[in-house]
Amino acid sequence: MRVLIGIGGGIAAYKVCEIISSLFKAGIEVKVILTAGGEQFITPLTVATLSRHPAYTDRDFWQPIHHRPLHIELGEWADLFVIAPLTANTLGKLAYGLADNLLTNTVLASTCPILLAPAMNTEMWNQVAVDRNWQLLSQDSRYHSAGPATGLLACDRVGMGRMAEPEEILPYIYSLLHTRGKLDLVGKRVLISTGGTREFFDPVRFIGNPATGKMGLALAQAAAHRGGTIVLVHSTLPDVPIDRRIKSIPVVSSEDMHRQMLAYFSDSDLIIMSAAVADVKPATYSAQKLPKKLLPTELQLAPVPDIIAELGKIKQPHQKLIGFAAQTGDIITPALEKLERKQLDAIVTNPVDLPDSGFGSDRNQAVILKKNGERIEILPCAKLEMAHQILDRIY
């Protein structure tokens, strides 16, 4: 996979170094175009060292040292073009199809998806002309956007215009490399649950599980990158920036999750229940922390709502309901029983007793079981890749 990165003139250019390094470590080939403005913040030597390729500048563009025009070669080479930071100047040129440097000429000479990461002062971002250019560019399906975000800017102002963090841009890059820019969830509303619920028996002690929410977050990211409108109901969740297109609904207990899932269910087209919801809760709750000497030797338990079973009963014909089953040993038999009993359209069953898989891992593996009898194996891969494979097969 080959990613071409265009670096514009802005202090946020330093963030791109982390992106280049991370892509290289992931086995993705990276080439970099530095604009004249970008060179004021990062040297060609820096990006060449990180990417293991020469850095391309306007000096190269205007020199007859290539067998074919440089912008043509680079445009044909790239599977994905990332422009970060995207300045107001380059935005205006792209909106009107202008090309007066290597970066903008390469844009016109390429056909791959383009990911934009804008960065500029808040007043600049809010200008009518800049907004017009942004809206114009947004009408072109080639262009995808990460950010801008709200935060502290180089001008010491706090506001909109901060470039998205690498932790948000990198997943979008991986998504676009998988989908090639496909937006098959545009107009679809996706409801996802994730994380492990906590059932407290006093203010500091609870019944829980090791779920971290990574799989559900990956599903939400993948669905958002494919154009869906996403609601993510979560308990535990990784401490990373959440895409602005994902509506985040934090919960704690199974009852909290039950209430929120019901609230958003009727408006959703695709529902994925990837949360590790507790099966039981303590039968009693103490509003005060119990002294150690008063802790019960036997904990009385009470049932909690079976959220996905209830959703299966009220599901409408246009809705798809997908469950998850975290299993040890035989992962197929109990998942098939759950698929039928809870009236699901499909279930993703994954082992949690294998290395580099399941709770807390950045990678996973699974088998998708569909109600029509189809079985699809997902070999070990990153959770975001697994999320895309799930979406490829169930929608």
Q: Could you tell me the CATH number of the domain that includes residue 164? A: 3.40.50.1950
Kindly tell me if the per-residue pLDDT of 64 is higher than 80: no
The answer to whether position 317 is within a domain reads: yes
Instruction: Give the CA distances from residue 211 to residues 238, 255, 259, 381, in Å, rounded to whole numbers and listed in that order.
Output: 10, 17, 20, 18
Instruction: Give the CA distances from residue 300 to residues 139, 236, 252, 284, in Å, rounded to whole numbers and listed in that order.
Output: 58, 25, 20, 8
The residue-averaged pLDDT of 183-212 equals 94
Per-residue model confidence (pLDDT) at position 65: 62
- Claim to verify: residue 231 and residue 138 sit in the same structural domain: no
The answer to whether position 100 is within a domain reads: yes
- Claim to verify: residue 22 and residue 162 sit in the same structural domain: yes
The answer to whether position 325 is within a domain reads: yes
Weakest mean pLDDT among 22-31, 109-118, 144-153, 335-344: 144-153
**Which of 155, 179, 203 corresponds to the end of one domain?**
179
Per-residue model confidence (pLDDT) at position 159: 78
Per-residue model confidence (pLDDT) at position 66: 60
The answer to whether position 268 is within a domain reads: yes
- Claim to verify: residue 52 and residue 79 sit in the same structural domain: yes
The residue-averaged pLDDT of 197-215 equals 92
- Claim to verify: residue 260 and residue 209 sit in the same structural domain: yes
Answer yes or no: 381 catalytic. Answer: no
The residue-averaged pLDDT of 28-47 equals 96
- Claim to verify: residue 152 and residue 263 sit in the same structural domain: no
Instruction: Give the CA distances from residue 4 to residues 103, 172, 245, 334, 356, in Å, rounded to whole numbers and listed in that order.
Output: 10, 14, 25, 46, 31
Name the catalytic one among 17, 112, 155, 381: 155
Residue written as token pair 């563009």: 61
More confident call, 298 vs 134: 134
Per-residue model confidence (pLDDT) at position 42: 94
Kindly tell me if the per-residue pLDDT of 213 is higher than 90: yes
Q: How confident is the model at residue 280 (pLDDT cuts 50, 70, 90)?
A: very high
Kindly tell me if the per-residue pLDDT of 17 is higher than 80: yes
Instruction: Give the CA distances from residue 337 to residues 6, 344, 353, in Å, rounded to whole numbers and listed in that order.
Output: 51, 11, 20
The residue-averaged pLDDT of 221-238 equals 94
Per-residue model confidence (pLDDT) at position 344: 97
The answer to whether position 327 is within a domain reads: yes
b/e per residue, 289-313, with b = 16+ CB within 10 A? eeeeeeeeeeeeeeebeebbeebbe
- Claim to verify: residue 70 and residue 206 sit in the same structural domain: no
- Claim to verify: residue 168 and residue 216 sit in the same structural domain: no
Structural domain total, the chain: 2
Rounded CA gap, 36 and 385, in Å?
A: 36
Contact 304, 277 (CB under 8 A): yes
Please measure the distance between the N-terminal and C-terminal CA atoms of the chain and give it in whole angstroms: 25
The residue-averaged pLDDT of 227-236 equals 95
The pTM assigned to this predicted structure is: 0.92
Per-residue model confidence (pLDDT) at position 160: 80
The answer to whether position 170 is within a domain reads: yes
Q: What is the pLDDT of residues 135-164, one digit of tens each?
A: 999 999 999 999 887 777 777 788 787 899
Q: What are phi and psi of 333, to 5 degrees?
A: -60, -50
- Claim to verify: residue 174 and residue 197 sit in the same structural domain: no
- Claim to verify: residue 287 and residue 325 sit in the same structural domain: yes
- Which of 10, 160, 149, 3 shows the shortest CA–CA distance to 80? 3
- Claim to verify: residue 247 and residue 320 sit in the same structural domain: yes
The answer to whether position 38 is within a domain reads: yes
**Which of 179, 198, 225 corresponds to the end of one domain?**
179
Q: What is the pLDDT of residues 311-369, one digit of tens each?
A: 999 999 999 999 999 999 999 999 999 999 999 999 999 999 988 888 888 999 999 99
- Claim to verify: residue 94 and residue 229 sit in the same structural domain: no
The answer to whether position 184 is within a domain reads: no
Per-residue model confidence (pLDDT) at position 150: 79
Contact 74, 4 (CB under 8 A): yes
Q: Residue 207 is part of which domain span?
A: 189-394
Q: Could you tell me the CATH number of the domain that includes residue 211? A: 3.40.50.10300
Kindly tell me if the per-residue pLDDT of 263 is higher than 90: yes
**Which of 179, 206, 230 corresponds to the end of one domain?**
179
Taken as a whole, the chain contains a residue count of: 395
Per-residue model confidence (pLDDT) at position 161: 77
- Claim to verify: residue 232 and residue 265 sit in the same structural domain: yes
